Amino acid sequence: MSTSALPPINPLLKTCGKCTRDVFASCPDDSIQEEPRSARIRLSVKMNDEYRDVRELPAPLLAQQGAVGPLRPKEQRKAITAGPSAETDASRIIATIDNKPIQQPSTFTSASNLSRALQLHKTTRTIKPTYHPPWKLTRVISGHLGWVRSVAVEPGNKWFATGAGDRVIKIWDLASGELRLSLTGHISTVRGLAVSARHPYLFSCGEDKMVKCWDLEANKVIRHYHGHLSGVYALSLHPTLDILVTSGRDASARVWDMRTKAQIHVLSGHTATVADVKCQESDPQVITGSMDSTVRLWDLAAGKTMVTLTHHKKSVRALAIHPTEYSFASASAGGNNIKKWKCPEGTFVFNFSGHNAIINTLSVNSEGVFFSGGDNGTLTFWDYDTGTAFQNMEDIPQPGSLEAEAGVFCSTFDMTGTRLITGGADKTIKIYAEQTQ
């Protein structure tokens, strides 16, 4: 039989398709629905076939199962009902939605604009850091019997004070490094020190919940500030007001009237230990860093949070306010752990990348030398303006100390910014100075 006698297949397919459509179009959809009983039977057979072997746990696993959890709530929950069901309504709604994006004119309409933008990008990325001479260790001072946890230089730059785990505050001559005085009164580690620039007072706080005001003319405690519910980890004096701010393990910072010992505000909002607090003249006048991995900027007049900075991934242990620039830095543990912020809104500027350790202390001087000290004894000196590290050092534990006792806990620059004083886990105070040519 020759194939030429067969009719073409396309018209036959069209005819067949039309007939099939007519047959099914004449049947309403409701009439060809599956019977509910047969649907249930079919589903149960399918479940039995597919899940028969895993419907019950094996006996050893069943024995390890805990008690049954709480029951679901009994109330009837209202389901979200569907919108218009008619096909015409749906198609009308879809037709009204115009998904075509609005065409935006290109920023780089010409090649010259593009090259200019790329050139600008290149210049902004390659800012040259300011040259800072290297720093070297010039003096090691021994005398404390515990970890040195706090240090403060007096405004006249003649002496400095340190507080340690031996519960003693020691006053040292800055030029010679000789011990001038030991102040006893705390019954636990001294965690914070500050010397007033406007009064002959030294303020101290410790893990014994105490905040003390020492009269340096009589060398004795003249005031106590009672209120903290746990150890006090940091304190800061306001530069222009007679106000003291303390913070600690009770997840709060407290603002005190220095003269009357009255508690002005409880700055609450943190959910973990407030490890550091700093004050400055202009808003935000109080900045706190906490173990809940946030930094808060406070409205001192209202006693409320202005901004909460949540960029850190781990607990914030240290803060440093630049003496002349309207900015500050904060530090925590892990990568990208030191961050620079711009006041007053707390705008993020950049990360100081490279010091991968738990940072316990930060200090910055007016020349833009920025110091970070780590829990593992690593020290880094940075250019504050660009975030470039210009020197890395390691704290050498003193003879008689364990290798693990290399942590740096506290630091401060002297009033000239040419000497850096640090305290660490080897119970010594180290003084670093710029190397002059």
Taking only Cα atoms into account, the Rg of the chain, rounded to an integer number of angstroms, comes to: 35
Beta bridge partners of residue 162, listed in sequence order: 151, 170
* Tokens found for residue 56: 């019950």
Domain spans in the chain, listed from the N-terminal domain onward = 135-434
Indicate the SS3 state at residue 18: helix
Strands in 55-174 per DSSP E: 135-141, 148-153, 159-164, 168-173
* Tokens found for residue 284: 């935000």
Position 42 scores a pLDDT of 86
d(CA 219, CA 70): 63
* Tokens found for residue 55: 């419907």
State the residue for tokens 């109080």. 286
DSSP of 344-379 = TTTEEEEEE-S--S-EEEEEE-TTSEEEEEETTSEE
Indicate the SS3 state at residue 421: strand
Q: Give the model confidence (pLDDT) of 200-246 as tens digits.
A: 999 999 999 999 999 999 999 999 999 999 999 999 999 999 999 99
Fold for domain 135-434? Methylamine Dehydrogenase; Chain H (2.130.10)
Indicate the SS3 state at residue 212: strand
Are 302 and 339 in contact by the 8 Å Cβ rule? The answer is no
d(CA 72, CA 239): 58
Which DSSP category does 63 fall into? H
Q: Give the model confidence (pLDDT) of 26-44 as tens digits.
A: 665 555 566 788 888 888 8
Are 288 and 300 in contact by the 8 Å Cβ rule? The answer is no
Q: Which regions of the chain are under pLDDT 70?
A: 1-4, 25-34, 54-55, 57-58, 61-114, 117-126, 404, 437
- What letters, b where the CB count within 10 A reaches 16 and e where it falls short, cover 260-274? eeeeebebebbeebb
Are 394 and 388 in contact by the 8 Å Cβ rule? The answer is no
